[in-house]
Amino acid sequence: MKITVIGGGIIGLSTAHYLLQAGHEVTVIDQSSLNDGCSFGNAGMIVPSHIIPLASPGMIARGIRWMFRSDSPFYIRPRWDTRLFRWGWQFYRHSTKNHVKQAAPALKELSLFSKKMYRELATELPFDFGYAERGLLMLYQSPGAQHEEEETARFANTLGIEARVLPAAEVQRLEPEVELRVLGGVYYPGDAHLIPHNLMKQWIPYLNKQGVNFKTGEEVKDFRIRKSRIEAVITTGGEYQADEVVLAAGSWSEAIAAKLDLKLPIQAGKGYSFLTDDTGFKVQIPSILLEARVAVTPMGNKVRLGGTMEIAGISHQINMNRVRGIVEAVPRYYPNVKINMPEADEVWAGLRPCSPDGLPYIGRTSRYTNLVIATGHAMMGLSLGPGTGKLVSLLINNQATPVTMEPFHPDRF
């Protein structure tokens, strides 16, 4: 079949990869040049440990508290936007223990499946993208964060995700080359990481060489529709006939879905990151500094630092106060490490597509017979990419999926 994939991020590339393997003719359309984007500069973590959705108890109060600090990990820019109001209401409705209880098994199942796909890709693809299984450390300095993370660890263990609660001395033994100042941590040995820009920059030319047709710098303007079928995708560069269409355009998916009269609530959650030389910063295991909500990932001879969730619409403007919050957090946990404030052009910013219930949209809509949606993965896009792409391929091929799909249904709102 002729299949058009809208979006060339990790979800779109994964989808193209598995559709090509299944023998289809694949075209990937993206409005950018595919030299940057949310999939390039993230923390590179593959995290089956992350079973708690963004919409969870305590997030509303925590978010309100953080909103009044210019260097805080979370910010919603006040603006008159009915879509933001609707998204916020749904987020509020889903920030419950019951929602977490229902969502966590689905996230676990999808995460473990995606990690399995990464393991296969690491051996099948003819290039190295730094895939390593060293686990993840959740580091805390306060009794409050300790209590919360120990509860999460107990919950993870009940779902079959191994989590070890460690005192400070045992955490330090796992990181012998850098001094830590923590009360303790939770270690998830089943997590992994990779170097995202190495994956993206090599996967795109590889897929192109294998036969995937990339149309970059083209914005989707409209669709040609007949009854309940999409016959063609119309862009600023041309018209592409399609037997099947996959919408995987990240934070731009809501606007594209609106052209099809579909409601797909998404808010762009901006995150920042930058690379720093690891001189004196010899971390071995990816970590999250819990109170600061900062991610620390070793990547080759460098370390990537990232964080923040800034709900401010589609905007690539960099708020250096939030970057400063990341920089100043590091020596609080690693007292012998000094991070220099990066220049603005050294800071990467990416827009993560956040659904209001913290679950991605994956599946067919009831309105169109040949449309599959795959977006809304928030901070888990890289982690869930190959799993999502494989599921999309199975759906298009009318094959059974190894993951329960109902929690991710795109029509749920």
Which residues 6+ apart lie within 8 Å of 401 measured at CB?
391, 394, 395
Q: What phi and psi values does residue 352 have, to the nearest 5 degrees?
A: -95, 130
Please give the CATH number for the structural domain made up of 2-39+198-263+357-408.
3.50.50.60
> Taking 80 as the threshold, does the pLDDT of residue 59 lie above it?
no
> Taking 70 as the threshold, does the pLDDT of residue 64 lie above it?
no
pLDDT confidence of residue 67:
66
Domain 51-101+131-191+267-354 in the same topology as domain 2-39+198-263+357-408: no
Residue range 66-83: mean pLDDT, rounded: 74
Please give the CATH number for the structural domain made up of 51-101+131-191+267-354.
3.30.9.10
pLDDT in tens, 155-198: 999 999 999 999 999 999 999 999 999 999 999 999 999 999 99
**Distance from C-alpha of 166 to C-alpha of 182, rounded to nearest angstrom:** 11
* Nearest alpha carbon to residue 15 among 365, 387, 339, 343: 387
Element (H, E) at 138: strand 136-140
Structure letter (DSSP) for residue 340: P
The full set of domain ranges for the chain reads 2-39+198-263+357-408, 51-101+131-191+267-354
pTM for the whole structure: 0.95
pLDDT in tens, 228-262: 999 999 999 999 999 999 999 999 999 999 999 99
> Taking 80 as the threshold, does the pLDDT of residue 119 lie above it?
yes
